[in-house]
Structure 1
Amino acid sequence: MGVDYYKILGVYKSAKEDELKQAYLKLPAMKGQAEAKFKKISEAYEVLSDPQKRAVYDYQYGEKGLKGQISSGHPMSSDDAFAEYFGFSNPFGGMSGSGGGGGGSTRNGSRVNEDIFGSTFGETIVEEILTIDVKPGWKKGTKITFPEKGNESPNLVPADIAFIIDEKPHPLFRREGNDLVMTQKISLAEALTDYTAHLTTLDGRSLTIPISNVIHPGYKLVVAGEGMPFPKDPSRKGNLCINFYIKFPKRLTAEQKAHVKRAALVP
């Protein structure tokens, strides 16, 4: 862990922001503080008052892991990363705007601290709306970065804010690359006779797909151009792949078995 920042400020690890501030304002006002110790006090407060740096200090690398990033005059830049969740319908057609289930809109709060040692400690909250334009075909893991839109502090370069796209599960479709995969449950009778698949696409269209083939276990129907848009060329789309789950009857009567046997003999 190296230097114990909590001990330097004289607070417990569970200390809240106001407790940290009170301890910080109290210590510099003490007489006879050596310059090196004064720097440590400022450094301790800088780390513990920043949730991101405090998390790194507490749970990952300690003071040594923060060395080289935090110093008494050298600028630092870091990412504030957030996950933004969208359903398949958002990246299917591409959406933007503020709020709702469409585009991604988030409120950014930047804190600017003015440090007057031994006197007052003021802070200003600056709020800004950041809007994410969801492009057609965006995949899970797509990263959108807003440069220097994060927290601000003296001697620090404002952090970047990065959003990572994640996908909510869909009740019907599963995404595999640019393809959409779904499963339809059908009866044995539907599998052996002509079957028509009815489904609604992500953009609200109704598809009617007649199937004249016998649908056997492992049968897959591929509908070209009904998948997800290609991220680099939204005019192209992947395929829709339909798998079938055939519900076999648990039992047959003697008469039904006879019918099946007779039907099986028909060329």
Structure 2
Amino acid sequence: MGVDYYKALQVDRSANDDDLKKAHRKLAMKWHPDKNPTNKKDDESKFKQVLSDPQKRALYDQYGEEGLKGNVPLPTAAGGASFFSSGDGPSPFRFNPTSADDLFAEIFGFSNPFGGGGSASASGGQRFSSRMFGDDMYASFGERGSVGGGSMHHHTVARKVDPIENKLPCSLEDLYKGTTKKMKISRETVDVSGKVMQTEEILTIGVKPGWKKGTKITFPEKGNEHPGVIPADLVFIINEKPHLVFTREGNDLIVTQKVSLADALIGYTVNLTTLDGRTLTIPVTNVIHPEYGEVVPKEGMPLQKDQTKKGNLILKFNVKFPARLSAEQKAGFKKLLG
């Protein structure tokens, strides 16, 4: 193995950089020229220089002083012969602990396999560029889907077609009680052989009590099938049809009734058939004026989130005033209201 550098520096083989520096300072005093005419300090400095270099230190630890001189034995194959020699003599291979750039320069004539700039190396060769094999050897594996314009394509994610929306007309009775609607659709499908066929299908739509205008019911991928794309979702949107008696405002139901001036003044009874077929009799004893409203609790629409609860029924009135009054009628009203 030659000279033991660790022993010469008086340090352990596991010594770190700080240990080496301390040993160097200690021995520098010992090998001072005034005390040592033979000038062994040069040897000590060489030892420190080797052990302070991780690459040289690893080489020394594995092969000793001979390794630093380049006399490194080659690995042998299973049969015992060298991979780079004939097997009947010392290997001609010599290890040179140079940088990676210099190593590439020795082998290829240029350095830095992934560096940019295209500048020349110390050996005069052009630096290895990422663009040496085309515009961009990495981009050739990217979104273009082929290498160098070849036929190696990457997997493309199928695009989903935009949803197909259709209005679903519903009466106020449907939305009050809930109902089931059946819709017949016709669409294109693709069989196992790839043939496109026209098929018909019946879709069942369950309408829940309390659903509002604009509520959407989605049937995933019930649109036309075509190669290379994901079929569109089929979406039905609740469209509330106008009612002859009731108007909906959120969860409340509004009813407007016409009353005469006499009824407005002396009292009026509202008789009403509900959306679920019941008959309501609602007496109004207050004087009815144009802005008056009678509220009947819990006779409105079911709540969409809690169908056991309901909104209110609100009665509004349109008071019919007489076009003219006789003198006798005027006197009577004056006496009544005065």
Q: Please give the range of the TM-score, normalised by the shorter of the 2 chains.
A: 0.5 to 0.7
Instruction: Say which of 204, 215, 235 aligns to 1:142.
Output: 215
Q: Corresponding residue for 2:89? A: none
Quote how far apart the aligned CAs of 1:143 are: 0.4
8 Å contact 2:158–2:230 — kept in the other structure?
no
Q: Corresponding residue for 1:112? A: 189
AA in 2 matched with 1:112 = T
Q: Corresponding residue for 2:120? A: none
2: CA distance between counterparts of 1:178 and 1:110? 37
- Normalising by structure 1, what TM-score? 0.65
1: CA distance between counterparts of 2:262 and 2:157? 77
AA in 2 matched with 1:91 = L
AA in 2 matched with 1:168 = K
Instruction: Say which of 218, 222, 234 aligns to 2:307.
Output: 234
Quote how far apart the aligned CAs of 1:83 are: 0.5
**Pair 1:90 & 2:174 matched:** yes
The structure with the largest alpha-carbon Rg is 2
2: CA distance between counterparts of 1:124 and 1:194? 68
AA in 1 matched with 2:184 = R
2: CA distance between counterparts of 1:240 and 1:85? 23
AA in 2 matched with 1:178 = N
Quote how far apart the aligned CAs of 1:128 are: 1.3
Instruction: Say which of 247, 261, 267 aligns to 1:174.
Output: 247
Q: How many residue pairs were aligned?
A: 184
Quote how far apart the aligned CAs of 1:216 are: 1.5
2: CA distance between counterparts of 1:249 and 1:75? 68
1: CA distance between counterparts of 2:241 and 2:159? 38
Gaps of 5+ in 1: 1-71, 97-103
Q: Corresponding residue for 2:289? A: 216
Question: What SS does structure 2 have at the residue aligned with 1:191?
Answer: helix
AA in 1 matched with 2:237 = I
Q: Corresponding residue for 1:162? A: 235
Moved over 4 A (4+): none
Cα deviation per residue 1:216-261 (whole Å; 9 max; x = unaligned)? 2210001101110000001100001111000000100011111111
Q: Corresponding residue for 2:317? A: 244
1: CA distance between counterparts of 2:222 and 2:190? 15
Q: Corresponding residue for 1:260? A: 333
8 Å contact 2:176–2:275 — kept in the other structure?
yes
RMSD: 2.1
Quote how far apart the aligned CAs of 1:77 are: 3.4
2: CA distance between counterparts of 1:234 and 1:172? 22
1: CA distance between counterparts of 2:164 and 2:221? 10
AA in 2 matched with 1:125 = Q
AA in 1 matched with 2:296 = V
Q: Corresponding residue for 2:55? A: none
